[in-house]
């Protein structure tokens, strides 16, 4: 059961006696801890429309009472803990392995929100191991979309690791051939893995040029063939397989919580990323340098 489905079911139970408006508030609660009242209000306004802050606060007070959240201190974190505990106990499911949701395609808004949480002041209280952005792809078709977010992560001191295919590798050529041969939808006539990776490196070059903390950005290229694409922002991980005939961002995505009690799934995926990171070679598309020639000979020795 997904987090949203759990909240919907929980809110409809007669024992809580929530009104439809109170249920709308409950459905805006995030599974991840650290959501502030202001963020909850903004999430509500995006999904349900405008509301006066006082009216929203009154709904929250009633919800706290109905879920027996009382005492001093901030009550929203208490409510989130109560709901998270009930979610973990709601059924056998896969939540203990960290599986939060399965998306039909890459969830742009989900990854954007995870990046924004990572740079929020409250996120800086997380363990250092959770303060990281990591991307593993042959090439990342959506990298340019996240350029501003990556720059903000670098400014906040967040480590950013990008792992892409060496564009002149046999593996990159094989992936291109498979995509073209089995494509479910027509690809652009000029589509090529080589030029796509180079376009990613140009985006990263622009990121380095604009950043005041470029040392936090690490880029490596691999000369092998991965089986999964990975996008990580803090404790959120999105994973998808490389299928014949479809870019990874167009196939189903597993959304995982890296704080899962059982690391069988999340640990396996992270270990595979680290293994590929170890065998890959560092590469820096340094601004105002002829890095394209260096790129060609990266794996020739």
Per-residue pLDDT, 121: 46
> 9 vs 46, which has greater pLDDT?
46
Residue 71 or 286, more confident: 286
Residues 31 and 135 in one domain: no
Range of the structural domain that residue 289 is part of:
96-296
The CATH number of residue 250's host domain is 3.30.870.10
Over residues 106-123, the pLDDT tens digits come to 999 899 989 998 887 444
As a whole number of angstroms, the distance between CA 49 and CA 259 comes to: 32
Q: Is residue 301 part of a domain?
A: no
> Is 251 part of a structural domain of the chain?
yes
Total of domains in the chain: 2
Q: Is the pLDDT of residue 222 over 90?
A: yes
Token couple for 166? 């060496």
232-251 pLDDT, tens per residue? 999 999 999 998 888 999 99
Strands 217-222 and 159-165: parallel
The pLDDT assigned to 17 comes to 83
146 versus 260: the higher-pLDDT residue is: 146
State the pLDDT at residue 93.
Answer: 58
Residue 129 lies in a domain: yes
On whether both 149 and 215 belong to a single domain, the answer is yes
For residues 3-25, average pLDDT:
82
Mean pLDDT over 218-224 rounds to 96
Residue 257's SS3 state is: strand
Q: Are residues 127 and 256 in the same domain?
A: yes
pTM: 0.70
- Last residue of some domain: 56, 91, 126? 91
Strands 281-282, 132-136: pairing is: unpaired
Indicate if the pLDDT at residue 124 is higher than 70: no
Weakest mean pLDDT among 119-123, 124-128, 195-199, 272-276: 124-128
H helices of 96-238, where? 108-119, 147-155, 170-182, 193-210
Q: What's the confidence (pLDDT) of residue 123?
A: 46
Distance CA 226, CA 134 (A): 15
Tokens of 215: 């040392």
Beta bridge mates, 133: 160, 233
58 by DSSP, 3-state: which? helix
Return the H-helix or E-strand segment holding 221. Answer: strand 217-222
Tell whether 103 and 66 lie within a shared domain.
no
**69 lies in the same domain as 133:** no
Same domain, yes or no: 22 and 118: no
Task: Kindly state whether residue 264 falls inside one of the protein's structural domains.
Answer: yes
Tell me if 1 sits within 8 A of 91, measured CB to CB: yes
**Is residue 127 included in any domain, yes or no?**
yes
Chain segment 164-191, per-residue pLDDT in tens? 999 999 999 999 999 988 887 778 888 9
Tell me the pLDDT tens digit for each residue of 64-88: 988 888 776 688 988 888 888 777 6
Q: Are residues 186 and 147 in the same domain?
A: yes
Residues 170 and 256 in one domain: yes
The residue from 41, 75, 91 where one domain ends is 91
Instruction: State residue 128's pLDDT score.
Output: 59
Same domain? For 115 and 254 the reply is yes
Residues 70 and 107 in one domain: no
């Amino acid at each position: 059961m997904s987090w949203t489905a759990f909240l919907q079911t929980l809110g409809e139970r007669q024992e809580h006696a929530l009104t439809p408006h109170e249920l709308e508030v409950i459905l805006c609660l995030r599974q991840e801890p650290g959501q502030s009242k202001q963020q909850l209000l903004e999430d509500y306004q995006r999904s349900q429309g405008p509301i006066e802050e006082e009216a929203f606060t009154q709904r929250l007070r009633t919800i706290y009472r109905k879920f027996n959240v009382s005492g001093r201190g901030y009550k929203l974190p208490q409510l989130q803990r109560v709901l998270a505990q009930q979610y973990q106990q709601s059924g056998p499911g896969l939540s203990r392995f960290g599986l939060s949701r399965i998306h039909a395609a890459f969830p742009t808004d989900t990854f954007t929100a995870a990046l924004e949480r990572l740079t929020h002041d409250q996120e800086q209280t997380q363990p250092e191991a959770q303060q990281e952005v990591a991307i593993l792809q042959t090439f990342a078709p959506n990298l340019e979309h996240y350029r501003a977010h990556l720059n903000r992560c670098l400014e906040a001191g967040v480590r950013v690791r990008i792992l892409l295919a060496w564009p002149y590798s046999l593996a990159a050529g094989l992936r291109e051939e498979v995509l073209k041969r089995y494509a479910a939808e027509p690809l652009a006539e000029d589509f090529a893995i080589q030029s796509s990776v180079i376009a990613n490196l140009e985006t990263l070059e622009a990121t380095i040029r604009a950043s005041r903390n470029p040392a936090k950005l690490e880029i490596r290229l691999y000369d092998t063939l991965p089986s999964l694409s990975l996008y990580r922002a803090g404790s959120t991980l999105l994973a998808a397989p490389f299928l014949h005939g479809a870019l990874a961002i167009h196939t189903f995505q597993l959304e995982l919580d890296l704080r899962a009690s059982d690391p069988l799934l999340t640990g396996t995926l992270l270990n595979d990323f680290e293994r590929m990171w170890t065998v890959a070679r560092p590469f820096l598309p340094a601004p105002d340098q002829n890095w394209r020639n260096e790129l060609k000979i990266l794996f020739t020795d």
